[in-house]
Amino acid sequence: MPSDPLPPLRSVIADHGLSARKSLGQNFLLDLNLTAKIARSAGDLTRCDVLEIGPGPGGLTRGLLSEGARHVLAIEKDSRCLPALAEIAAAWPGRLTVIEGDALKVNPLDHLTPPIRIAANLPYNVGTELLVRWLTPPDWPPFWQSLTLMFQREVAERIVAAPGSKAYGRLALLAQWRCDARIVMSLPPQAFTPPPKVSSAVVHLTALPEPRFPADAKTLERVVAMAFNQRRKMMRAALKGLAPDIEDKLRAAGIAPTDRAETVDLERFCALAQLIKT
Ligand code: SAM
């Protein structure tokens, strides 16, 4: 791949006065070897459009481009970053489009051509909300092939968690029902400028063509949300309002009414959702 022709990120930040703002969750990655490594963990980008949320001064954007992304669409809320991003666009003609806006409000689909991958180092609050949106579209398969996302280590563990673990819950079930999800990198706070309080991890999720087990999406989301809303309660108590014969339905799905949600695996949650829907 052609190497990155632009100045080091520290100079970019100094030249454009991009002091990190806490209110925008700004913890920048300045090591281009690291951002190229994250871009590589997103898979083969050469035939893909990549949606990047929160490019900031452009460390990951530069990684995605130097790793060969066909086209990058970057959505950034902080207008201070736009001149630095314009320099990247000029260095990679026709390969980077930047939209100034809030990723929670902008619809990127008009600007993207499939196949599409998503990559981002996001502020943590926005990250979880976007992840849940990307995991719960009206139709499956979704508009994206894969998600490569930086999270607080604790959130990353909730996405890949197995039944019986403390981290297991709604996020694990939503993610693992229709995706393969794994942690591909761990990063200490010092990898960022300024360093956050906690460690981070990159999670790579690949959309499966079909859900792992059949279930109606809305029903499954409702059952899982209720079950984990009161995760210490027994399933029969947590799901009491769902059906008059909830104990029978739990048993039919292979779940003991006295089980707690954190011990129930994905297959049995899907079976229960099927029984509740019909
Ligand atoms: N990608 C850059 C990097 O790795 O160095 C910056 C990462 S920083 C953790 C998060 C970025 O998301 C910041 O540039 C911030 O301005 C931007 N951001 C915060 N909220 C946003 C939102 N709602 N929509 C789009 N961008 C947002």
**Is residue 112 over pLDDT 70?**
yes
* Ligand 1 atom closest to 28 (CA): 5
Among protein residues, the one whose CA lies closest to atom 18 of ligand 1: 54
Burial 187-207 (b: 16+ CB within 10 A, else e): beeebbbeebeebbbbbbbeb
Average pLDDT estimate for 11-21: 95
Q: In what order do the strands lie in the sheet with 96-100?
A: 96-100, 71-76, 49-53, 116-121, 146-152, 200-207, 179-187
Contact 125, 148 (CB under 8 A): no
Task: Over range 110-123, report the average pLDDT.
Answer: 95
Q: How far apart are CA 12 and CA 52, in angstroms?
A: 19
> Within 6 Å (CB) of ligand 1, which residues are found?
24-29, 53-56, 59-60, 75-78, 81, 102-104, 121-123, 126
Task: Report the distance separating Cα 135 and Cα 179, nearest Å.
Answer: 9
Asked if residues 64 and 42 have their Cβ atoms less than 8 Å apart, the reply is yes
Q: How many CB atoms lie within 10 A of CB 218?
A: 12
Going by C-beta distance under 8 Å and a sequence separation of 6 or more, which residues neighbour residue 177?
A: 211, 212, 213, 215, 220, 266, 270
- Per-residue model confidence (pLDDT) at position 124: 78
Render pLDDT for 69-98 as a digit per residue (tens, 0 to 9): 999 999 999 999 999 999 999 999 999 999
User: What integer pLDDT is reported at residue 5 of this predicted model?
Assistant: 82
Rounded Cα–Cα distance for residues 61 and 272 (Å): 43
Instruction: Compute, in angstroms, the gap from residue 186 CA to the centroid of ligand 1.
Output: 19
Average pLDDT, integer, range 256-260: 97
Q: Residue 143, exposed/middle/buried by CB under 10 A (0-12, 13-18, 19+)?
A: middle
Lowest-pLDDT range of 122-126, 142-146, 263-267: 122-126
Q: Express each pLDDT in 28-69 by its tens digit.
A: 999 999 999 999 999 999 999 999 999 999 999 999 999 999
Taking Cα atoms as reference points, which of 115, 149, 148, 219 lies closest to residue 177?
219
Q: How high is the pLDDT of residue 278? A: 66
Q: How far is the CA of 42 from the centre of ligand 1 (A)?
A: 18
Ligand 1 centroid distance, CA of 115 (Å): 24
Q: Copy the structure tokens of residue 131.
A: 């992840």
What residues are paired with 29 via a beta bridge? 192
Q: Rounded to the nearest whole angstrom, what is the distance from the C-alpha of residue 55 to the centroid of ligand 1?
A: 6
Residue nearest to atom 21 of ligand 1 (CA): 77
What is the CA(77)–ligand 1 centre distance, in A? 7
Mean pLDDT of the chain: 96
Strands 179-187 and 200-207: antiparallel
